Amino acid sequence: MRGLQLPLSQTQRIRLQRALEKLQSLSCKANSDASVTVADTIPVNYEDAFLKGHGTTDLNGDLVATVCGVVERINKLVYVRALRARYKPEVGDIVVGRVVEVSQKRWRLEINFSLDAILMLSSMNMPDGIQRRRTALDELNMRGIFEENDVVCAEVRNFQHDGSLQLQARSQKYGKLEKGQLLIVDPYLVKKSKQHFHHLEQFGIDLILGRNGFIWVGEHVEARDSMVVDQANSSEQSMVPEEKSQTHTPLEMRQNICRISNAVRVLSALGFSIDSDLILETVELSSTVKIDIHDMLGSEFHVLVAEREAERRSLMGKRKR
């Protein structure tokens, strides 16, 4: 179990084993049969025309897998979905990245991909909100918008011809993320869904599930229109950092942020896919069991979450039938 180096007592071990076995029996049988490792032949009907997708290669006329994963067939496309791998970007994905370098007219972001992604200055909304050409002054002030090590939320715009990635952050909901913490999980646990920005009203917290496995949990910030207003007070902004240190996140909100982060950590350690409903359920579970925030990372809670997940999936399976 990756990263699950927990001291489990004998009973806990048995309970966990039972829960995982239940999950195994519930999983789609077709899927487990379709698991392949590197250099396994993929069973294909060679008479039908088919397209070779990612993770496959041709070997002496046979179709062979190049990564360990599950074979997926969609219409005529046959490909291998790798589980633990670097992020595989698709146009339109929402990602969270960290600025690595500020260079001429662009920022370079690290997003858990084989190359760093580029965010052009022209793909960014200007603080004053006006759509205009970027001047030399804008270039010199790039650090005023994002500087090194900042956490940024953006969208995948397109691929360059040489394979590198271009991002854009044109809408109000993208931009710099502050007042919170960044969690890193495996990209395959975050599935593509309609909503990646979640505003959890009952906690007042923003939860952003980046498709690249970077998850941001932080205080809720109103839509970034504040940037437009700030330009007028920009001179005050530069002096504010001193006073900012006084305004820490209130304790209750911090507790909620920690609870949600720990829920994400537990789910990622157990290998369950992460979406906002599951996170909220896990947080509820921790409150009902009245477990301390720190103890959420202990063995007992891990076993409880595994058991609860096994139940939930079996209920879902029954509902489908």
Site for another protein in 62-91 (CB under 8 A): 64, 66-70, 82-86
**With CB under 8 A as the contact rule, which of the stretches 42-50, 57-65, 124-132, 193-201 interacts with another protein?**
57-65
**With CB under 8 A as the contact rule, which of the stretches 26-34, 121-129, 137-145, 201-209 interacts with another protein?**
26-34
CB-based contacts of 31, cutoff 8 Å, min separation 6: 70
Dihedral sign computed on CA atoms, order 40, 44, 46, 48: negative
Query: Rounded to the nearest 5 degrees, what angle is found at the Cα of 150, between the Cα atoms of 146 and 151?
Result: 115
219-238 residues in contact with another protein (CB under 8 A) are: none
Whether 206 and 198 have beta carbons less than 8 Å apart is answered as: yes
**With CB under 8 A as the contact rule, which of the stretches 118-126, 199-207, 222-230, 265-273 interacts with another protein?**
265-273
For the CB of residue 122, give the shortest distance to another protein in the complex, in Å.
22
187-216 residues in contact with another protein (CB under 8 A) are: 188-189
Interaction between residue 15 and another protein (CB under 8 A): no
Q: What are phi and psi of 34, to 5 degrees?
A: -90, 5
For the CB of residue 11, give the shortest distance to another protein in the complex, in Å.
15
**With CB under 8 A as the contact rule, which of the stretches 136-144, 207-215, 223-231, 250-258 interacts with another protein?**
250-258
CB < 8 Å & 24+ apart, contacts of 130-134: 134/105
Q: What are phi and psi of 151, to 5 degrees?
A: -100, 125
Q: How far apart are CA 146 and CA 11, in angstroms?
A: 51
Dihedral sign computed on CA atoms, order 244, 263, 10, 290: positive
Interaction between residue 39 and another protein (CB under 8 A): yes
Among residues 94 and 296, whose Cβ is nearest to another protein? Answer: 296
Return left, alpha or beta for 139; rule: phi > 0 is left, psi -120 to 50 is alpha, else beta: alpha
Which one among 180, 209, 282, 305 touches another protein, defined by CB under 8 A? 180
121-140 residues in contact with another protein (CB under 8 A) are: none
For the CB of residue 279, give the shortest distance to another protein in the complex, in Å.
14
The first and second tokens of residue 42, run together, are 């993929």
- Least Cα distance to 272 among 318, 319, 304, 320 occurs for 304
Residue carrying structure tokens 């001291």: 7
Q: What are phi and psi of 124, to 5 degrees?
A: -115, 140
Interaction between residue 61 and another protein (CB under 8 A): no
Interaction between residue 110 and another protein (CB under 8 A): yes
Count of residues touching another protein (by CB under 8 A): 82
For the CB of residue 285, give the shortest distance to another protein in the complex, in Å.
15
Q: How far apart are CA 132 and CA 121, in angstroms?
A: 12
**With CB under 8 A as the contact rule, which of the stretches 89-97, 120-128, 130-138, 293-301 interacts with another protein?**
293-301
Which one among 102, 258, 280, 285 touches another protein, defined by CB under 8 A? 258
Interaction between residue 55 and another protein (CB under 8 A): yes
DSSP string, 87-98: ----TT-EEEEE
Which one among 17, 103, 114, 171 touches another protein, defined by CB under 8 A? 114
Residue carrying structure tokens 């990756």: 2
138-177 residues in contact with another protein (CB under 8 A) are: 148-151, 162-164, 176-177
